[in-house]
Amino acid sequence: MKLYVDSLYTSPYAMSAFVALREKSLPFDMTTVDLEAGRNHEPGFAKASLTHRVPTLVDGEFTLSESSAIAEYLDEAYPQTRIYPADQRQRARARQIQAWLRSDLMPIRNERPTDVIFFSPTDTVLTDAAHKAVRLLIEATEELLPRGGEHLFGRWSIADTDLALMLYRLIANGDKVPARIEEYARAQWARPSVQQWVGQRRPGP
């Protein structure tokens, strides 16, 4: 298998796909695409990706882009180690969380890009819109995370990594996060598969 990721290793979606592959112990090669130079629109990659985006997974003659689609495909094609909950309703909830994180909370994504995690924090003060998004994120996490629980669904799932990454945008920048939620996010961040992504050698932003 081959996984195409961004050349700066800052894409939260590429990270999610990378972690999914690592958690499943599937062998793969990783190839970077320089998004800033528009390499994702070059014919060779564009044909494989379909959406011209990273991550894109190549598994034999099959290619697939969009991180949540990649995670779901891997869990169905290689079920030996599950990255989604076994329970149907919990699995649906995990997918809901992923979809929400990818489609909402735009002020957080705009004002706390993943550069604050992988390169350096920003001194930009959060806007009112971002504060509203942060409140929504915190309230949802408090509702989802069981008291005393280390994971959302009793054991790790890919939704834990995706949620922790969104929270880490705030934590890495020094923004205030409730202690219980910060502890959860830091525990997820320490996971070996996540740290393998964090430890990638990055060029300057």
Q: Which two tokens stand for residue 183?
A: 């502890």
**205 pLDDT higher than 80:** no
The parent domain of residue 153 ranges over: 88-191
Does 92 share its domain with 78? no
How many distinct structural domains can be found in the chain?
A: 2
The reply to whether 186 falls in a domain is: yes
Same domain (yes/no): 120, 53: no
Whether 107 is covered by a domain: the verdict is: yes
How much is the pLDDT for 170?
Answer: 98
- Mean pLDDT (whole number) for 179-201: 97
92 shares a domain with 162: yes
User: Is 200 among the domain residues?
Assistant: no
| pLDDT computed for residue 204 by the predictor | 65
Residue 54 and residue 135 in one domain: no
pLDDT digits (tens, 9 = 90+) for 68-88: 999 999 999 999 999 999 999
Alpha-carbon span 151 to 144, nearest angstrom: 10
Backbone angles phi, psi at 51, to 5 degrees: -95, 0
Residues 107 and 181 in one domain: yes
For residue 155, what are its two tokens?
A: 């054991």
Domain-located, residue 183 = yes
Q: What is the pLDDT of residue 199?
A: 96
Same domain for 8 and 49?
yes
Which residue has better confidence, 59 or 147? Answer: 59
Give a yes or no: residue 198 inside a domain.
Answer: no
**Mean pLDDT across the stretch 107-113?**
98
pLDDT digits (tens, 9 = 90+) for 145-186: 998 889 999 999 999 999 999 999 999 999 999 999 999 999
**Do 111 and 184 reside in the same domain of the chain?**
yes
Residue 136's pLDDT is what? 98
pTM of the predicted model, to two decimals?
0.95
Q: What is the CATH number of the domain that holds 64?
A: 3.40.30.10
Same domain, 77 and 92: no
User: How large is the average pLDDT for residues 6-21?
Assistant: 97
Cα 190 to Cα 154: distance, rounded to the nearest angstrom: 17
In a shared domain, residues 109 and 133: yes
Asked which of 64, 82, 100 is the last residue of a domain, the reply is 82
Question: Which of 62, 82, 102 lies at the terminal end of a domain, its last residue?
Answer: 82
Per-residue pLDDT at 188: 97
Task: From 55, 43, 51, 49, select the one nearest 10 (Cα to Cα).
Answer: 55
Q: Is residue 96 over pLDDT 90? A: yes
**Which residue among 23, 49, 82 closes a domain?**
82
Percent of the chain past pLDDT 70, that is, above it, reads 99
pLDDT at 138: 98
The token duo for 195 is 């740290």
The model's pLDDT over 29-50, given as tens digits with 9 standing for 90+, comes to: 999 999 988 888 988 888 888 8
Residues 156 and 127 both lie in one domain? yes
State whether 127 and 72 are in the same domain: no
